[in-house]
Homo-oligomer: A and B are copies of this chain.
Amino acid sequence: MNTEGRMRIAELSKRSGVSVPTIKYYLREELLMPGELSSPNQATYHDEHLRRLRMIRALIEVGGVSVAAIGQVLAAVDGPELSTFELLGTVAGALDKQPQTPTEDIEWTRARAEVDAALSRRGWQGGRDSATDALVEVLVRMSQLGYDTWASEGLDAYLDAAERVAEIDVEHALRASNRADLVDGAAVMTILGDAALGAARRIAHVHVSAGRLGHLGEREN
């Protein structure tokens, strides 16, 4: 990382587009590492601070991640010694949206069985983590809205697509040469990847529906 750029907080604010009070807030919350004291009242910041600020803003502005969750992600770097796999899991857990609390009524039970079956067809382990719960919740809501066939017709395609992008994501994250970069890469890939996939899906909707409706003739409902 280039550490040539040395700057005062005002310049850090200008280059990052983050206000000075907000930078001070991130310093207090320990999301941003302290600058180097050049005098008792003056700190100098580096390109590393600029990059960290950009990462914080990407997580907040693109992913709506909370300051508390970012703190948890960053704490993983200095936390107890974890294997790489556990470290990736800690980052993912901190960034997870909490799905609706699963109830144990018949709809949830059926949806969970469908998800478990789909995962086990791929040789993936099912389970009760928050991502699996979130997928079960989608199936319950789809079914309540009358889209019952989605579980049998859509779920596998979604898991295929997810596996395809996960290979890219993990490949990128594992290129990190140290623990801090691994955590950083995993967080960035998770949040920016969500945004990229959502945007790509919307672009694909336009393309696919244009093809379908152009090819089959305009269907007037």
- Which of A's residues lie within 8 Å of B, judged by CB? 1, 51, 54-55, 58, 61-62, 83-85, 87-89, 92, 96-97, 99-100, 119, 122, 124-125, 129, 131-132, 134-135, 137-138, 141-142, 144-147, 149-150, 153-155, 157-174, 176-179, 181-182, 184-185, 188-190, 192-210, 212-213, 218-221
A213 touches B142 (CB 8 A): no
Please give me the residue from chain B that is nearest to A162 by CB atom. B200
> Is B196 within 8 A of A138, CB to CB?
yes
Who on chain B is nearest to A205 by CB?
Answer: B166
Contacts of A122 in B (CB 8 A): 207
Whether B202 lies near A58 (C-beta < 8 A) is no
Q: Look across to chain B and name the residue whose beta carbon is closest to the beta carbon of A96.
A: B202
Q: Is the CB of B147 within 8 A of A197?
A: no
Known: A142-B192, A162-B204. A147 touches B172 (CB 8 A): yes
Residue in B164, B200, B205 whose CB lies within 8 Å of A170: B205
Judge whether A221 and B138 touch: CB under 8 Å: no
User: Given contacts A119-B203, A197-B201, are A165 and B158 in contact (CB under 8 A)?
Assistant: yes
CB of B85 within 8 A of CB of A207, answer: no
Q: Which residues of B contact A100 (CB under 8 A)?
A: 61
Known contacts A62-B137, A162-B197, A199-B135, A147 near B205 by CB under 8 Å: no
Whole-angstrom CA separation of A15 from B54 in the bound complex: 46
Q: Are B205 and A138 in contact (CB under 8 A)?
A: no
A54 to B174, CA, bound (A): 41
In the complex, are the beta carbons of A134 and B201 less than 8 A apart?
A: no
- Interface contact A88-B209, CB-CB below 8 Å: yes
Interface residue from B162, B165, B219 paired with A174 (Cβ < 8 Å): B219
Those 6 A-B pairs whose CB atoms lie nearest each other, nearest first:
A166-B204, A162-B200, A131-B202, A161-B161, A134-B199, A135-B199
CB-based contact B218/A84 at 8 Å: yes
